[in-house]
A and B are shown apart, each in its own frame.
Chain A
Amino acid sequence: MARTQVVTGQVEDLHLVGLTKRFGTMTAVDALDLTIPAGSFFALLGPSGCGKTTTLRMVAGLEDPTEGAILIGEQDVTQLRPYQRPVNTVFQSYALFPHLDIFENVAFGLRRRGIKDVKKPVEDMLELVELGAMARRKPGQLSGGQQQRVAVARALINQPDVLLLDEPLGALDLKLRRQMQIELKRIQTEVGITFVHVTHDQEEAMTMADTVAVMNNGRIEQMGSPVDIYENPRTAFVANFLGQSNLLPGQVVGREDGVTVISAHNATFRIPTARVATDGDSVVVGVRPEKVTVRAKDRAGDLSGRNVLEGVVTDASFTGLSTQYLVRTAWGQELQVFSQNLSADDIVRLGDDVVVSWDPIHSFGLDGASDLHAGMDKELLALQSGDEPAQVG
């Protein structure tokens, strides 16, 4: 009995070892090596088509890996059928059984394992997701948010070692999504089961997860805490996909005292060497728009020890909380600057000659061979190239 009531023993880590999936010649998941710590809220973040669903389906046993292994703790589950794995899935579109009511949907897993007394656990679980009153409704009679919680309850009640969630909030509107993010986080903290949450929404991944793995083209680009990967992206893809970045290609001119000095466009930039992702001499200097301050050139003040660039303001949009500027450099690159509205003195205007500067500790250095547009929002990219005068054709 107790088997299902309590998470017995310790929850186990999930290991993916060289996990690969090919569909014909197309590699959907490419030699993934990943350890997901027991009890963590783990987010797999990446653009659509990067292989997130395929990865989850392999863990669930719904897709056979081409190569590699899946281990839960010490146990190799690669060859097990889905129903033999201590893993449950919250499907992308919930996949609730339309012919069963909410109670029976949630009880499904328990009944299949031959547990007779399902009333109490099901009611407790419905209580946890705040759907006690809906027990006898059919899924079709519930709203999207309610169906989503039933899907979570139906999976969670089995006390799996790992709960897989495939874009569980994708079908909900923005407000409900925010609400459910908090709700899911609460449930995860309460039950202590490992959650592997797949999403393409970087904000969702960052607000919910302890650990985020950024995935691109079937590979993990970077993994770490949300703060870590946001503050110190190691690839151009991560720098652009999580928030926005200004990227300047340059050459290393010196490395000393833990600081790498880079020259680009006749200016010199300093980056803590620990924040440079390459040993090569060609390095892309990166900085987040909100780390940059912008001042009118004639009142720039003391800039010693900072990384500095000059330019002209070509766009300024006031959003209340902050002002977003575009600053065009001498070589035509547009830098993004998010400036908090601290005092009216700071405000610079369209066409002003300005100095932008930032603390070197906020710089990061990427491999010089990076595609600077990797991971960029496609719409944003189109918008930027649209700045050029339109060609009549």
Chain B
Amino acid sequence: MPAVVPSAATAHGSDEATVRRSRRSTPYLLLAPGLGWLAVFFVVPLFASLATSLQVPLVEGDPDQGYTQGFAVQNYVNAITEYWPQFLKSFLYAGIATLLALCIAYPLAYFIAFHAGKWRNIMLILVVAPFFCSFLIRTYAWKTILADQSPVTQFLNALHLLPDDRILNTPLAVITGIAYNFLPFMTLPLYAALERIDFRLIEAGGDLYGSAWTTFRKVTFPLSLPGVVAGTLLTFIPAVGDFINAQLLGSVKDKMIGNVIDSQFRIVRDYPMASALSFLLMAATLTIVFLYIRRAGTDDLV
């Protein structure tokens, strides 16, 4: 028996190696469709747009004559000096809307995860129900809800809670619109994180002299941090670039960077400027996200 084994092993040696190699490459094959998609629809446009952002007009001062490839870093300088207030406003509105969404979604997700009982699935369906209706239509609906003559506005006015006596066409409308539209993106990751928490850990917190609030601060919240990070990112990133809410719910003074890019591209047709703005937006968002993950992801993250 022992005499046979080595020869058999050598005979099959190369076959086995082939099998093993192909087995090792299978996981990469699974990646192929995704990578292909990314290459065609992300990497290529990314570089095309980078190139565009450095173009110069064929005829100075007349964009209708078209552009030619250049190396106009000046486009970026112009983009910043001209539109930094809109950049700032974008991050501000998106940041406030993200916080607002977090404040609304956390108790909601907590309730669904721990107290909804048999209603849990129905509540989860209700959370995603707005997706059955288009983003645009939902935002138009908010236009009606927040209109000057709407019950909501009149009620708040009766209480003298609105500085401008109105909501529509103010930053408040833009922020609430964003918070509303991205609420499911906040709620679902929070729910997933909370639902995973072993309820006995919360009981253990109480058993070890933590009051309900202390146990929440020291046990439940830290354990739900992955959900908080995921939810805030999923809300904040698309919110920064959003232009629908500002367009439909805000005034001309409330334009966000998405609106600027949109109009530069479609109306002004200053393609290099639009591309440069896009790149700046991407870089700024990436930086903020990176810093945020670095901070949240150090010690407290499980």
State whether A98 and B208 are in contact (beta carbons under 8 Å apart), knowing that A62-B203, A82-B203, A93-B200 are contacts in the complex.
no
Q: Decide: B200 and A109 in contact? CB cutoff 8 A.
A: no
What 0/1 readout, one digit per residue, does chain B (21-49) give for beta carbons within 8 Å of chain A?
Answer: 00000000000000000000000000000
Expressed in whole angstroms, the minimum distance between the Cβ of A105 and any Cβ of chain B is 9
Q: Decide: B203 and A83 in contact? CB cutoff 8 A.
A: no
Expressed in whole angstroms, the minimum distance between the Cβ of B288 and any Cβ of chain A is 25
User: Which chain B residue lies CB-closest to A92?
Assistant: B200
Q: Decide: A113 and B223 in contact? CB cutoff 8 A.
A: no
Give complex CA distance A3, B107 in Å.
38
User: Which chain A residue lies CB-closest to B204?
Assistant: A95
- Residues of the B chain whose Cβ atoms lie less than 8 Å from the Cβ of A61: 206-207
- Residues of the A chain whose Cβ atoms lie less than 8 Å from the Cβ of B200: 91-93, 95
- Residues of the A chain whose Cβ atoms lie less than 8 Å from the Cβ of B201: 95, 97-98
Q: Does residue A282 face the partner (Cβ distance < 8 Å to B)? A: no
- Residues of the A chain whose Cβ atoms lie less than 8 Å from the Cβ of B205: 97, 108
Q: Decide: B300 and A91 in contact? CB cutoff 8 A.
A: no
Give complex CA distance A89, B207 in Å.
7
What 0/1 readout, one digit per residue, does chain A (72-104) give for beta carbons within 8 Å of chain B?
Answer: 000000000111000111011101011100000
Q: Does residue A120 face the partner (Cβ distance < 8 Å to B)? A: no
Q: Does residue A116 face the partner (Cβ distance < 8 Å to B)? A: no
User: Which chain B residue lies CB-closest to A104?
Assistant: B218
Give complex CA distance A316, B221 in Å.
62
Expressed in whole angstroms, the minimum distance between the Cβ of A233 and any Cβ of chain B is 35
Q: Decide: B208 and A154 in contact? CB cutoff 8 A.
A: yes
CB interface residues, A 53-75, toward B, < 8 Å = 60-62
- Residues of the A chain whose Cβ atoms lie less than 8 Å from the Cβ of B210: 83, 108, 112
Q: Is the interface of B mostly helix, strand, loop or mixed?
A: helix
**How extensive is the interface on chain B, given as a class?**
10 to 19
State whether A60 and B207 are in contact (beta carbons under 8 Å apart), knowing that A95-B198, A95-B201, A112-B214 are contacts in the complex.
yes
- Residues of the A chain whose Cβ atoms lie less than 8 Å from the Cβ of B198: 93, 95
State whether A83 and B211 are in contact (beta carbons under 8 Å apart), knowing that A95-B198, A99-B223 are contacts in the complex.
yes
Partner of A109, one of B208, B223, B300: B208
User: Which chain B residue lies CB-closest to A164?
Assistant: B207
Expressed in whole angstroms, the minimum distance between the Cβ of A184 and any Cβ of chain B is 18
Q: Does residue B17 face the partner (Cβ distance < 8 Å to A)? A: no
Q: Does residue A194 face the partner (Cβ distance < 8 Å to B)? A: no
**How extensive is the interface on chain A, given as a class?**
20 to 34
Q: Does residue B119 face the partner (Cβ distance < 8 Å to A)? A: no
User: Which chain A residue lies CB-closest to B225?
Assistant: A99
State whether A158 and B204 are in contact (beta carbons under 8 Å apart), knowing that A99-B223, A99-B302 are contacts in the complex.
no
Give complex CA distance A131, B290 in Å.
37
Q: Does residue B209 face the partner (Cβ distance < 8 Å to A)? A: yes
- Residues of the B chain whose Cβ atoms lie less than 8 Å from the Cβ of A95: 198, 200-201, 203-204
CB interface residues, B 75-98, toward A, < 8 Å = none
State whether A89 and B209 are in contact (beta carbons under 8 Å apart), knowing that A95-B198, A97-B219, A98-B223 are contacts in the complex.
no
Expressed in whole angstroms, the minimum distance between the Cβ of A137 and any Cβ of chain B is 14
What 0/1 readout, one digit per residue, does chain A (150-163) give for beta carbons within 8 Å of chain B?
Answer: 00001100100000
Q: Decide: B204 and A99 in contact? CB cutoff 8 A.
A: no
Expressed in whole angstroms, the minimum distance between the Cβ of A112 and any Cβ of chain B is 4
Expressed in whole angstroms, the minimum distance between the Cβ of A344 and any Cβ of chain B is 44
Give complex CA distance A109, B300 in Å.
19
Q: Decide: B206 and A62 in contact? CB cutoff 8 A.
A: yes
What 0/1 readout, one digit per residue, does chain A (98-135) give for beta carbons within 8 Å of chain B?
Answer: 11000000001100110000000000000000000000
Extra contacts, 14 of them, besides A99-B300, A112-B210 (Cβ < 8 A), are A62-B203, A62-B206, A82-B206, A83-B208, A83-B209, A83-B210, A87-B207, A88-B207, A91-B203, A95-B201, A97-B205, A99-B222, A99-B302, A155-B208
A-B contact pairs, 17 of them (CB 8 A): A60-B207, A61-B207, A82-B203, A82-B207, A83-B206, A83-B207, A89-B204, A91-B203, A91-B204, A95-B201, A97-B219, A108-B210, A108-B218, A112-B210, A113-B209, A155-B208, A158-B208
Binding site for A on B (CB under 8 A): 198, 200-201, 203-211, 214, 218-219, 222-223, 300, 302
Closest 4 CB pairs of A and B: A112-B209, A109-B208, A82-B206, A95-B200
